[in-house]
Amino acid sequence: MTIPHRAPPTATNTLESRLAAVEDQLAIRDLTARYNFAIDNRDLTAVAELFTDQASFGSKDGAMRATGREAILKQFESRFSVLGATNHVAHDHVIWFDSATQAQGQLSVHAEVWRNEQPMLTALRYSDRYAKADGLWRFSERLLSFFYYLNVGDYPTAMGQLERNRASHTPVAADYPERLATYVELRPGKSKP
């Protein structure tokens, strides 16, 4: 996914509209931070407030797929059954607006996880859609993709392999970067024309 470049404000933008855009960006960043804290705290009441009624939440590898707030909460309950303590930390976050009430974002995250009685590390990205209603921004769609999901002890050797998603018993290929067209074009070892 190519992330759009946000054009700088122009003379036609009013101070009020520019301030509203900054406030909306901050509210969306706050939304993603509240998500991380709610997930780590296992606070499903708080999680429910973060999604629209008809939101979808899934993973690119297909292991997770739920539509509707109640289905998303049930999916989290299932995920929590194999997870102990977790610590999600957000990094880079790009947000662009489709309208005053619709936006998209790309967010990178790392997490420390106790899963299936072992310590694991994961690096992932969320491709998000956000919707604003009644003055509040919520997730209308979250799709996560994995760079890796590894046992802590496997990290040094697994990073050089494509099958870096080891959240389940059978390793699967990482979702990125090897599957991105831009990476394929410039991957190591590819001869140039």
SS3 call for 110: strand
Q: What CATH number was assigned to the domain covering residues 15-185? A: 3.10.450.50
Averaged pLDDT, 141-167: 95
Cβ neighbourhood burial of 147 (10 Å; 0-12, 13-18, 19+): buried
User: CB of 32 within 8 A of CB of 93?
Assistant: yes
Provide φ and ψ at 56, rounded to 5°.
Answer: -125, 150
Average pLDDT over residues 141-152: 96
The pLDDT value given to residue 34 = 98
Note the pLDDT of residue 191: 53
Instruction: With beta carbons less than 8 A apart as the criterion, state whether 35 and 51 touch.
Output: no
Per-residue pLDDT at 118: 93
pTM score: 0.89
